[in-house]
């Protein structure tokens, strides 16, 4: 089969790979019909995650590449003997988190930290969805039936971007009715935070970015204020909007020092900083100024414990996620899709969809 394979920093190749097969009786093999590229995939491509090579080398003595991708939908091709909830031919959403459902962490709904070789492993520690077929561990607890009538492009976002935004941004940020919130970074994760934050009726939603096209879309999707940090002092503008107080919740949705710095300067006493962005480098944490503010600062990896709820909400048509699918490619154009997403600002790209 064809697949996008990572071999090291700035080295990915569209090439032939072996067809996956059942390894454990709880596995399923899925024929992928639609997938997308995540910012985390770009980070891996750029060398942000050397542990991929280290883990493979320790385990099998060599690194023969890793198929990227952890988002997608498809059709069940084969199931292991222990799989009870799915059968060949079922249309499914593939969760980015694989969970055994029985270990200590899974019993606490910390599925991202499944102790039985689960968690976020797909496209990271095992081969992922940027291929014609993918093996899904723990199929019974890591797949979702794809409802008839649900927009398939919306369904792809249920693999990762939407539950990540909702759980790590909005829920961890403890967004409540009447709150003021700021979302720093309006890429796919930031837009997911903007949409799902509205479940909890915040009074003020401030979207901050350097891209006017993304800020325009943020306004369409419910932001009450937008700030282009390339032209304005974002910290000063937030303080002006909030009458000098700052926001109840600052959501960091990029993963760089500049956006973290904005968050730590705009949150008010008793507020929350919810870090969603994936940081590859350390940042300046001004604890000397923050210690006195009674803040809650959270980090996290998606557990996908709200995916079922979000799936029902998407079926109701109340989340206009299809607006995030800005570019479409055929499977043979995978390399082009990566290039467009890598240059998202120049291409006005939000999420790229790859059809198989």
Cα–Cα distance, 36 to 57 (Å, whole number): 28
CA distances from 332 to 130, 134, 337 (A): 11, 17, 10
pLDDT recorded at residue 288: 96
Cα–Cα distance, 296 to 301 (Å, whole number): 17
For the whole prediction, is pTM greater than 0.85? yes
pLDDT recorded at residue 54: 84
Cα–Cα distance, 46 to 239 (Å, whole number): 35
Ranges in the chain, pLDDT < 50 = none
pLDDT recorded at residue 280: 85
pLDDT recorded at residue 227: 98
Rounded (5°) CA angle 10-274-105: 80
Closest CA to 276 of 173, 200, 350, 195: 173
Rounded (5°) CA angle 91-95-101: 110
Asked if 91 and 144 count as a contact pair (C-beta separation under 8 A), the reply is no
Cα–Cα distance, 274 to 247 (Å, whole number): 12
Asked if 72 and 156 count as a contact pair (C-beta separation under 8 A), the reply is yes
Closest CA to 204 of 167, 235, 175: 175
pLDDT recorded at residue 335: 96
Per-residue pLDDT of 34-59, as tens digits, reads 999 999 999 999 888 888 988 777 77
Which of left, alpha, beta for 101 (phi over 0: left; psi -120 to 50: alpha)?
A: left
pLDDT recorded at residue 59: 72
Phi, psi of 162, rounded to the nearest 5 degrees: -75, -50
Q: What is the DSSP string of 97-134?
A: -B--S-SHHHHTT-GGG-TTT-BS-BTTTB--SSBSEE
Q: Show the DSSP H helices in the chain as ranges.
A: 39-45, 51-60, 104-107, 139-142, 152-157, 161-164, 188-197, 212-220, 234-241, 257-266, 287-290, 307-315, 334-342, 344-347
CA distances from 36 to 96, 114, 131, 235, 275 (A): 12, 24, 11, 33, 23
Per-residue pLDDT of 304-325, as tens digits, reads 999 999 999 999 988 999 999 9
Query: Structural domains in the chain?
Result: 2-160+304-355 (3.90.180.10), 163-298 (3.40.50.720)
């Amino acid at each position: 089969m064809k697949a996008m394979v990572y071999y090291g920093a700035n080295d990915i190749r569209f090439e032939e790979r072996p067809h996956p097969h059942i390894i454990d009786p709880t596995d399923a093999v899925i024929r992928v019909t639609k997938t997308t590229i995540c910012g985390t995939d770009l980070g891996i491509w750029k060398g942000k995650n050397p542990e991929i090579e280290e883990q493979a080398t320790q385990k099998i003595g060599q690194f023969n590449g890793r198929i990227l991708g952890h988002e997608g939908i498809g059709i069940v091709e084969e199931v292991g003997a222990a799989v009870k909830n799915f059968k060949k031919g079922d249309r499914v959403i593939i969760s980015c988190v694989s969970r055994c459902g029985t270990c200590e962490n899974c019993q606490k709904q910390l599925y991202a930290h499944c102790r039985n070789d689960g968690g976020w492993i797909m496209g990271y520690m095992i081969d992922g969805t940027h291929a014609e077929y993918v093996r899904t561990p723990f199929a019974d607890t890591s797949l979702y039936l794809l409802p008839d009538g649900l927009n398939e492009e919306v369904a792809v976002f249920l693999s990762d971007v939407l539950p990540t935004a909702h759980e790590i941004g909005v829920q961890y940020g403890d967004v409540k009715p009447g709150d003021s919130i700021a979302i720093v970074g309006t890429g796919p994760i930031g837009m997911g935070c903007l949409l799902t934050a509205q479940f909890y009726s915040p009074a003020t939603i401030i979207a901050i970015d350097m891209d006017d096209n993304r800020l325009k879309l943020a306004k369409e999707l419910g932001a009450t204020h937008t700030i282009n940090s390339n032209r304005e002092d974002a910290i000063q503008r937030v303080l002006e909007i909030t009458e000098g107080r700052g926001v109840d919740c600052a959501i960091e949705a990029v993963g760089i020092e500049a956006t973290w710095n904005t968050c730590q300067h705009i949150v008010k006493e008793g507020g929350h900083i919810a870090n969603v962005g994936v940081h590859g480098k350390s940042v300046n944490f001004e604890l000397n100024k923050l210690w006195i503010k009674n803040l809650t600062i959270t980090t996290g990896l998606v557990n996908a414990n709200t995916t079922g709820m979000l799936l029902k909400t998407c079926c109701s048509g109340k989340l206009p996620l299809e607006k995030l699918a800005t570019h479409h490619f055929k499977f043979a154009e995978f390399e082009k899709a990566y290039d467009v997403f890598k240059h998202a600002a120049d291409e006005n790209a939000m999420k790229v969809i790859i059809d198989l």
